[in-house]
Structure 1
Amino acid sequence: MKARFKRAAAAAALGTSVLAGCSLPSSVLERVADNRYEPPSAPIHCEGRKVCDEADALYIADLHADTLLWTRELSDLLPEHRGHGHVSLELLREGRTDLQVFAAPTITPLHEGYTDPVTGEPGVCIPSDGLDLQVPLRLFGGAARYPATVLSPRARALRQAARLEEWIAEPGSRLRRVRTVPDLDAAEAQGEIGALFALEGMHWVGGDETAVRAELAELARIGVRMASLTHRFANGLAVGSEDCGLLRDPSRQDAGLSAAGRWALDEMMARGIIVDVAHASPASIAQITELVRARRAAAGTGAAGRIPGLLHSHGGVQAVCPLPRNLDRASIQAILDAGGVVGIGYWPEALCSRTGDLPEVALRFAASLVAVIEAARDPAFLGRRAQAGAAPIDPFAHIALGSDFDGAVRLKMDAGDQPALLQALAEMDCATLKAVDPRLADVCAATSPPALPLTPERLKALAGANARRVLAAALPR
């Protein structure tokens, strides 16, 4: 164990004993971690507008929220101007949410500075051996009741899975755990909110092939139905997009999957765990999507009638927001080639937004959507697909909502505002994109019919039908 981790472990052990029975309110923890809700500059009005009034007719799915990370309960009320939090049971209902993916982040390293070796510009990267910020979060958030979560990423994942079950069991929650296709169907038929549990980085998984496969089998047993191999940095399975080693040396040859990562991926596909490539490095995404495509080709509809599922749950695109965290064109094309969907996030680092107000979020979300369309219609990409005998891609069938609500982000909207976001997207035209990038405005206008305003069919696909299609094809039956 490295020296800094020995010190952290000793401090955690001491802190657990000193702070036994002592915990801080979630509001304090979230404000310290910058998980902020800020009042919008102008009120968000949705009533009386077509999409908002007809939102019940849409299937609205959000592919990523980190609400389980915090100590508040989902049933807690989060009144306006509360200063923290983006998701509650009340807000999910207000936003007509049909499916919410609740993700469990299990390690949050402190970032470091670096100098880009190509541009010379300063930036921020995530070290794989950095100080884990979840240690103090757990110490001050209930270590006395769940001491194992202070240092164990696996214990944190299991505790967050148990918390989701507790939320579902609360009287009147109207939540249904989604583990199978019948669960997905039943939640929709009964007007309940489907709750799917995901892991954001499986950092503890490793060892030989038998150990890796056994751990994935156990995770599937407890109801994990979506997972990313890593989260921002490099672990024993894969390299993340913001890993310090990668950003300081982009030419490194080990920037993708390890052997353990390949075993884990194979087991995920066999067991109906959807593969999330958010936070993965470009090389990791290329290798993951190649293996998914090969599995689909070899197995047809897959084991038990399933098609291996792949998606990018939340993030941005570099054509709109050129940060390492966001998808480059090749990664977008790889995801589309593997039948996946690209979930677009709402927070500043995904969109390079300045104000964070809903109109700006909608504008830059729309620009990101058009950037995905541009990548899908790249002549070289189309040529490669035609040469392989692949069917044409409808890019509107591969875009989804991926908020990153409660992900230690600052937002001026919450889960109750998603119909208003869809309304804003439905009202937007191609000319408005000139404020972001005139080139994207031209791409938008050249689409037939123009990409904006969204047609009712395209809006329905974006709101949740695309995400639901991937889940229904991949989940156990």
Structure 2
Amino acid sequence: MRTFFKWLGMAILVTALTGAGFFFFILPPRVDHALNAVTPHEPYVISAEAQALHETLRVADLHSDLLLWSRDPVRRYGRGHTDLPRLREGGVVLQVFTSVTKTPSNMNYETNDATSDDITLLAIAQRWPVDTWGSLYNRARFHARRLHRAAELSDGEFVVVESRADLSAALAAHAENPDMVAGILGTEGAHPLEGDLANIPRLYAEGYRVVGLQHFFDNELGGSLHGLSNAGLTDFGRAAVRDLLDQGFILDLAHSSQAVVREVLDMTDAPLIVSHTGVRSLCETPRNIDDALFAEIAARGGLIGIGFWADVTCDDSPAGVARVIAYAAEQFGVEAIALGSDYDGSITATFDASELAALTDALLAGGMSEADIRAVMGENQIRFFLENLPAE
């Protein structure tokens, strides 16, 4: 009997260890691969003219959620959409990396409440520090430190920029070394503030320079485009907007309710961004806000980042994304249009960061001028951050 219990105990231990191994080491990559898919396709055929043009572009993108996943940004992977090697292959000079700290269960574009949080399980499965399991602020801090660590390990070929001076230096370095990539830290929703204005300077000290106000649920600041209330800013939200702007943050209105967007426009003349979206008059979906709000954001020197997935474009092929970019440029002015891929944001894309020349090819084939292609593929974003990041 003792022998039986001995072997039974060993069997239970092996089963537990096997299960733990699956949960911690096999499941996270599988989830990443499934949620951040690239549609299988033959290599894109790029015209000689488009390839030559693309090789001269300084590409910039307003939204990647790479930091959510257990991938080392410095290494090239066969899953997901972005890492530094693939960004370099795609000609990316500047990438905004966003911190996703909370997502609701059964996430959808219509109505979500704030009572659930799927990121907690992901944090545990991906072996994030224990202090991130119950704190949204600590998750944002962890993501920032991951990106800074990637910079330390990049042999000087990746830098996190926090000011105009930093960006200018990174661009000068890129002119000498095409492998140089600059990153900017942003948040996917302002819930890492955890309802405390004192966390604004703390996020700034960690290197964050872009703050999205909402994500898929209403938060302490106000209503989400996908929440329950459709409300505008709360009193705390108005105070947070003022303090964020005073601190030097750039505000991102992607996922904010239309009421929040209107109220922020009423509160400030500061240039704003909508980092990843489509255009409602071209693709009717609850994920896209009214064109009139985009027109006002554009008129104030803001940026509209066009996403790469079907839910916002109604056609996620390179030609389909190019069509939205060209339409947005016509509607709101080419100087206001940017790339807002939402790479690694639990979307399916038809091309990853290494294949961005396919988008240049589609824009050129669609009749956009080389000067306008250069603007939307990166120069608008570079100009915006050179004008709106803190000076030092």
TM range (shorter): 0.7 to 0.9
In structure 2, C-alpha distance between the alignment counterparts of 1:371 and 1:315, rounded to whole Å = 11
2:344 is matched with which residue? 406
Q: C-alpha displacement at 1:173, in angstroms?
A: 5.8
1:237 is matched with which residue? 221
Structure 1 residue runs of 5 or longer lacking an equivalent are: 1-14, 114-122, 247-254, 294-307, 377-394, 429-452
Residue 127 (structure 2) aligned to one of 118, 137, 142? 142
Q: C-alpha displacement at 1:85, in angstroms?
A: 0.4
In structure 1, C-alpha distance between the alignment counterparts of 2:220 and 2:146, rounded to whole Å = 27
Q: Would you say the 8 A contact 1:216–1:268 is kept in 2?
A: yes
2:353 is matched with which residue? 415
Q: After the TM superposition, which residues 193-232 of structure 1 pair with which residues of structure 2 at under 5 Å, given as runs? A: 193-205=181-193, 207=195, 211-212=196-197, 214-232=198-216
Is the partner of 1:107 in helix, strand or coil?
Answer: coil
Q: After the TM superposition, which residues 29-428 of structure 1 pair with which residues of structure 2 at under 5 Å, given as runs? A: 29-32=31-34, 34-40=35-41, 42-46=42-46, 49-78=48-77, 82=78, 84-111=79-106, 124-129=110-115, 131-143=116-128, 146-172=129-155, 174-191=157-174, 192-205=180-193, 207=195, 211-212=196-197, 214-246=198-230, 255-293=231-269, 308-353=270-315, 356-363=316-323, 365-366=324-325, 369-371=326-328, 373-374=330-331, 376=332, 395-428=333-366
Normalised TM-score (structure 1) = 0.73
Q: Would you say the 8 A contact 1:205–1:237 is kept in 2?
A: no
Q: Would you say the 8 A contact 2:145–2:206 is kept in 1?
A: no
The AA in structure 2 aligned to 1:422 is T
Q: Deviations over 1:178-226 (max 9, x none)?
A: 101111111111112111000111214255xxx41x2211211211110
CA RMSD of aligned residues (A): 2.2
Q: C-alpha displacement at 1:19, in angstroms?
A: 5.5
In structure 2, C-alpha distance between the alignment counterparts of 1:474 and 1:361, rounded to whole Å = 27
Q: Would you say the 8 A contact 1:104–1:200 is kept in 2?
A: yes
In structure 2, C-alpha distance between the alignment counterparts of 1:74 and 1:419, rounded to whole Å = 21
1:465 is matched with which residue? 379
In structure 1, C-alpha distance between the alignment counterparts of 2:209 and 2:329, rounded to whole Å = 26
In structure 2, C-alpha distance between the alignment counterparts of 1:204 and 1:69, rounded to whole Å = 14
Q: Would you say the 8 A contact 2:190–2:211 is kept in 1?
A: yes
Is the partner of 1:319 in helix, strand or coil?
Answer: coil
In structure 2, C-alpha distance between the alignment counterparts of 1:58 and 1:170, rounded to whole Å = 26
Q: Would you say the 8 A contact 1:206–1:260 is kept in 2?
A: no
Is the partner of 1:245 in helix, strand or coil?
Answer: coil
Bigger mean CA offset, 23-32 vs 412-421: 23-32
The AA in structure 2 aligned to 1:43 is P
Q: C-alpha displacement at 1:337, in angstroms?
A: 3.2
Q: Would you say the 8 A contact 2:305–2:337 is kept in 1?
A: yes
In structure 2, C-alpha distance between the alignment counterparts of 1:111 and 1:29, rounded to whole Å = 15
Q: Deviations over 1:355-380 (max 9, x none)?
A: x43333333x24xx425633x4xxxx
- The 1:21–1:152 alpha-carbon spacing in structure 2 relative to 1, beyond 3 Å, is farther
The AA in structure 2 aligned to 1:110 is S
Q: C-alpha displacement at 1:323, in angstroms?
A: 1.6
Q: C-alpha displacement at 1:457, in angstroms?
A: 1.8
In structure 2, C-alpha distance between the alignment counterparts of 1:75 and 1:217, rounded to whole Å = 28
How many residues are matched? 368
The AA in structure 2 aligned to 1:44 is Y
In structure 2, C-alpha distance between the alignment counterparts of 1:319 and 1:424, rounded to whole Å = 21
In structure 2, C-alpha distance between the alignment counterparts of 1:173 and 1:136, rounded to whole Å = 34
In structure 2, C-alpha distance between the alignment counterparts of 1:206 and 1:77, rounded to whole Å = 34
Is the partner of 1:230 in helix, strand or coil?
Answer: coil
In structure 2, C-alpha distance between the alignment counterparts of 1:457 and 1:194, rounded to whole Å = 23
- The 1:413–1:149 alpha-carbon spacing in structure 2 relative to 1, beyond 3 Å, is same
In structure 1, C-alpha distance between the alignment counterparts of 2:271 and 2:229, rounded to whole Å = 29
Residue 28 (structure 1) aligned to one of 11, 16, 30? 30
Q: Would you say the 8 A contact 1:241–1:325 is kept in 2?
A: yes
The AA in structure 2 aligned to 1:236 is E
Q: Would you say the 8 A contact 2:140–2:192 is kept in 1?
A: no
In structure 2, C-alpha distance between the alignment counterparts of 1:370 and 1:345, rounded to whole Å = 13
The AA in structure 1 aligned to 2:121 is P
Q: Percent identity?
A: 30
Is the partner of 2:147 in helix, strand or coil?
Answer: helix
Q: Deviations over 1:337-394 (max 9, x none)?
A: 33211100001111122xx43333333x24xx425633x4xxxxxxxxxxxxxxxxxx
Q: Would you say the 8 A contact 1:29–1:137 is kept in 2?
A: no
The AA in structure 2 aligned to 1:323 is T
In structure 1, C-alpha distance between the alignment counterparts of 2:199 and 2:36, rounded to whole Å = 31
Q: Deviations over 1:251-279 (max 9, x none)?
A: xxxx1111211122112222221110111
Structure 2 residue runs of 5 or longer lacking an equivalent are: 1-15, 175-179
Q: Would you say the 8 A contact 1:92–1:416 is kept in 2?
A: yes
Q: C-alpha displacement at 1:151, in angstroms?
A: 2.3
- The 1:112–1:134 alpha-carbon spacing in structure 2 relative to 1, beyond 3 Å, is closer
Q: Would you say the 8 A contact 2:63–2:97 is kept in 1?
A: yes
Normalised TM-score (structure 2) = 0.88
Is the partner of 2:304 in helix, strand or coil?
Answer: strand
Q: Would you say the 8 A contact 2:82–2:344 is kept in 1?
A: yes
